[in-house]
Every structure is written in structure tokens, then in C-alpha cells.
Structure 1
Amino acid sequence: MAHHQPTRGEPRVALVTCSALPDLDPDDRLVLAPLAARGVAAEAAIWDDPAVDWSGYDLVVLRSPWDYPLRRDEFVAWAQAVPRLANPVDVVGWNTDKRYLAELSAAGVPTVATAWIEPGETWALPADSGEYVIKPAVSAGSQDTGRYDLADPEHRELAASHVRRLTAAARVAMVQPYLSAVDTAGETALLFLAGPGGLAFSHAIRKGPMLTGPDLGVAELYRAERIDRRTALPDQLAVAQLALAAVPGGPDRLLYARVDLIPGPDGAPVLVELELTEPSLFIGYADSAPDRLAAAIAAHLARRS
């Protein structure tokens, strides 16, 4: 395949979204003006729209294609056909199945303990009466995710039903202890953007608790979140760097990354997700973050020209 060279005029960038958000998530729209100021023409494009000519873009940036979880194979096949994709397609294939957490744990990254239930397997409910989170291994935006107090007989039944519902649909279920610190300290998301020396820390936000109870099978594209600014702590940044260093192919190929952490039982941060495919980047919550994202996109364009 011939190496693509931008044609005369402004470089063109597609910001990939889904049909439910044809004009992008409001946070993502904040990057449009800084890109235009750099002479970059950016526009929203729906990932499964057959009318889109992906080869006509100088860079295709995954942003909010949040309807892919039930069509993950189709989504990855689409990504493989896109010539200039960020983040790279092999990372997308790896990161859209949360079983990557097992790989990161094996690599020494402090990670929330997770049990995996494959289709056809039976889940033995934990004997203890703690709280647990159940979700599918392929999901986005807390879709199909529930919180269960196993001291409650009704919750035990609902938890077992949730796992059966997922595995009956040929989906892998994951079961994790609910980390109670999320109710007080919240969840910290560390945002990284490509810079001159590779992926660099940009900003951090705090997400308040979102899971209030069982998942009852109601479809949602994403759940509303309470977001606040947060200052990253050294131990959080250290865990983030460990996780990023374990990404297949290394972190320097990435345009962006989001590392989600919650204090574990001992108070030390543990990884709950490493989001490299379509994370909200919360650029509206940090001074100059929209400009940093625009600079990262411009740098990726320069690298590919």
C-alpha cells in the first residue's frame, strides 16, 4: 500500500463517533477550534456509516463510538480497514476486551481482583457477604454493569441472573469486589496525551460513585457521571506508568490514554480500567487541555506525513 501523503490544503481529521452522537460528545467538540487554529479540518464521522470514505482522511481519531460493545467483532474489523487510525488497530483489538486486565496483573500492575466467567461456565457465588460488581468483558460507559450486596438474598439472585444473562448471550462476564473507597475518595482518571517526547500526563479528574444497585437489563449508551478536577498523586502516576509500559507495542504509539484508579483495601491505588479505545478525555476540566489534545493530533499528523 502506498504511503498516504496529504493533498494540498488543510489536513483532514475524522473524529469517530456513533449514530446516537452524530455531532460528537460535547467534551470532544472542545478540540475543534484549537484544531482549526492549527489549520486542521476536523469533522465528526459515524464509524458504521457506509457512506464515509475513511481513506480520504489524513488521520482517523476514535472518540465516541460507544455503541460497539454488542458488535465488537464488527467494530474491530472496521478498525482494521481504516488506513490511519488512532489509537492503532492492534491496541483497539487488545483493549476492547477487558481480559487485558489479567495480562496487566500478570505483568505486575496493581489491578482490581477479577473472576472471569466464560460462556458455558457456571458461576459459583462467593460465600462471603461483600459487595461485588458484575459486567461484561466487552462494554463501554458502564453498560450492562451492576452492583450487588451478596448479604441480600434478592441481590444474590439478581447477581446470578446477571451472569447467566451475559453468558447466555455468548459474552464473558467479569466479577470484581466493589471497592468501597469509590464512595468516599471516588475514582481517579489520569489523562495522558501524546507530546514531543511521547505520551505525557495531561490532567486528572475525579469521578463520583455511579453504581447504585443491580443491573436490570435496561440499555443505556452511557451513564451520567459527576466529574471534578483532581490533582494526581505520585503513587497514582506510578501505577499509571506501570500500566502504560505494559501496553503491547509500547505507549509511544498512542495518541491518548486514560488510566482509571480506585484506592484498594489498603488505600493504595489499583487499576480498574486502562482505556485506550474510546475514553472520555474530560478536556473541559483542565486548563489548556483542548489545546494539548489538538497539539497531540497535529503531532500525529506530522508523524504520518
Structure 2
Amino acid sequence: MTNHHQPARGKPRVALVTCTELADLDPDDRLVVGPLAAHGVAAEPVVWDDSTVDWSAYDLAVLRSPWDYMLRRDQFVAWAQSVPALANPADVVRWNTDKRYLSELSVAGVPTVPTSWVLPGEPWQPPADSGEYVLKPAISAGSQDTGRYDLADPEHRELAAAHVRRLSEAGRVTMVQPYLSAVDTAGETALLFLAGPDGLAFSHAIRKGPMLTGPDHGVDGLYRPEEITARTATEDQLAVAAKTLAAVPGGSERLLYARVDLIPGPDGSPVLVELELTEPSLFLAHAAGAPERLATAIRTHLSRP
């Protein structure tokens, strides 16, 4: 049985932060444990809201799969602030767990999916046009509480309004975005960056297939199943990612990892869908050497003052 109360001695100790439902880690995250051991780092899964854990016993806590915090975001942010050494840092967690950061990035010149926000209690009517829209909460992960609505369909219009009411009554902010049809063909591209000696460095990219087929009917488990394949990043995508990371408050050089999710916009140019800095899947299994690169990034992070 793991003893979370022993102080760090000898090998650096790293907590790979997860949730009760994934107490042994997501399978993809387990791939880094062996490479970390080869670097002389003892890593173990630790559940973020386990009150018996002494976080000071770890040289670093790495956020990996704490995917049950969405309805307890304030508790999660407060927990992050209490951890002595956390990657990514607690102020980044606070900023990045509310997707209203997209507005800040847009103001900074990052091409983003046009987004409007419906605050709890605000009236909302579906847009007058007949396009497709995506509705989701500003605090979410794994496509939970997310739906795609064709507003030319009267039933979809009613379901969209009900979706917003449901989130509003729960005190949640709703995001309203046009559905970018290119995701049905080109898919979504996720660019993964890991810490190196000179800051974040590009590691690999993957393609996600389309996931949203219609209105929100709930998700079984923590996330929707995803169709993932390897992808080669384009120069345009890398340029948007660089612009995005340059706009991160406090600078991106202190981050352990980042994931930049892009979809082609109406003109084919990449636009930002999400910037994942808190607990992103890193898709280590889809790129040769990625588990070793993450282990090296964690070892580099441990050596920072």
C-alpha cells in the first residue's frame, strides 16, 4: 500500500494526479511511469481529493486525470492552491478551467472559434439563422453536457433552449459556438507541447474524429469515446499554437505541458477551439517516443528552482 505520508528521500517522488474513477490512472498516462523510473523518478497515482494525502511528501504533483472536478471547480482550484509543487501551476489551473479564457485569447489576436456566453439567469433565444451550433458549459471536460443543434429543425431549437436553461438552473455559464463543419472531414488537430530546457517544445500531434452527432443526451463515464490517429502538424497550425502559447498569462515557459486544439475555420485557416493546460489527455500512445519525452520534461521540471 502506498504511504503518502513519508517525506521524499533519495529518488524524487512525483504524484500523478487522478480521480477516484481512474485511481490507477488512465491507460495512456501509465505509459510514463516506466520512463520516469529510468530517469530515477518514483511516480505513483494519487487521487486529488483524497484527504489523507500529504502533498508535501512529493517533489512534484503532475495533473493528469482529475476529470471529476467539473461540478466542484471551486474546490478543485482551492486544492490546487494548497499543493506545494504543482504542474501546471495553480494560477494556470484557475485561469484555464473556465473557458472564458477564449475571450482573452481572442482579444490578444489568437484566431478562435466565435463564442458567446450566457450567464446563469440571463434570457437566451436560439440565433435567428438556421446554422448548426454547439452548446456546452464554460467549465467542462470530456465533451460532457455538450450538444450539437441544427437550428433549422424546430425540435432542435427547443432542445437547445432547454439545454441552456438546464445549465443556467445549475448556475453554469453556457458557451454558444457555430459548429465548424470542417471537423466532419478534416477532424480536430491537437498539438502537444512538453517542457524542455528552453521552455515548451513541440512533441507531436494527433487527429480527433468528429464526436458530436446531435443534441446532448448525456455521457456515460467521464468522457465521450474518441477516434484518435497520429497527424503531422502544418506550419499554419504551429504558428497559431505559438501565438496562443505566447498569450498565456504569466508566460508559457513555466508550463510542463500544453495542448492546443485546432479546427479549420470557414476559410480553411486553423482556429483555436481549446487551450488545454490543466488535465489534457496527451495521447502518448500515438507518437513514438512521447512517453520518454514526457518523462524527460518532468525530470527537467523537477530541476527547476
Asked whether the two chains share a fold, i.e. TM above 0.5, the reply is: yes
**Shift of the alpha carbon at 1:197?**
1.1
Identity %: 79
Unmatched 5+ stretches in structure 2:
1-6
Counterpart AA for 2:80: A
Cα distance between partner residues in 2 of 1:302 and 1:216: 46
Alignment of 1:38-187 (within 5 A): 38-187=39-188
**Shift of the alpha carbon at 1:219?**
5.6
Residues 101-110 or 7-16, more deviating: 7-16
Does 2:265 match 1:243?
no
Deviations 1:61-94 (A, max 9, x none): 0000000010000000000000000001000000
Contact 2:15 2:62 in 1 (8 A): yes
TM-score where L is the length of structure 1 = 0.97
TM-score where L is the length of structure 2 = 0.97
Cα distance between partner residues in 1 of 2:136 and 2:273: 12
Counterpart AA for 2:56: S
Contact 2:8 2:57 in 1 (8 A): no
**Shift of the alpha carbon at 1:7?**
4.5
**Shift of the alpha carbon at 1:220?**
3.6
**Off by >6 Å, runs of 4+ in structure 1:** none
Unmatched 5+ stretches in structure 1:
1-5
**Shift of the alpha carbon at 1:284?**
0.7
Cα distance between partner residues in 1 of 2:72 and 2:263: 29
Cα distance between partner residues in 1 of 2:91 and 2:269: 31
RMSD of aligned residue pairs (Cα, Å): 0.9
Alignment of 1:174-213 (within 5 A): 174-213=175-214
Contact 1:143 1:219 in 2 (8 A): no
State the aligned residue count: 299
Contact 2:8 2:58 in 1 (8 A): no
Residues 26, 218 of structure 1: alpha-carbon distance in 2 compared, 3 angstrom cutoff: closer
Q: Is the partner of 1:91 in helix, strand or coil?
A: helix
Cα distance between partner residues in 1 of 2:71 and 2:253: 30
Deviations 1:105-142 (A, max 9, x none): 00000000001000110112111111000000000111
Residues 74-83 or 216-225, more deviating: 216-225
Cα distance between partner residues in 1 of 2:171 and 2:220: 17
Corresponding residue number in structure 2 for 1:28: 29
Deviations 1:21-56 (A, max 9, x none): 000000000000000001100000000011111110
Contact 2:182 2:263 in 1 (8 A): yes
Corresponding residue number in structure 2 for 1:3: none
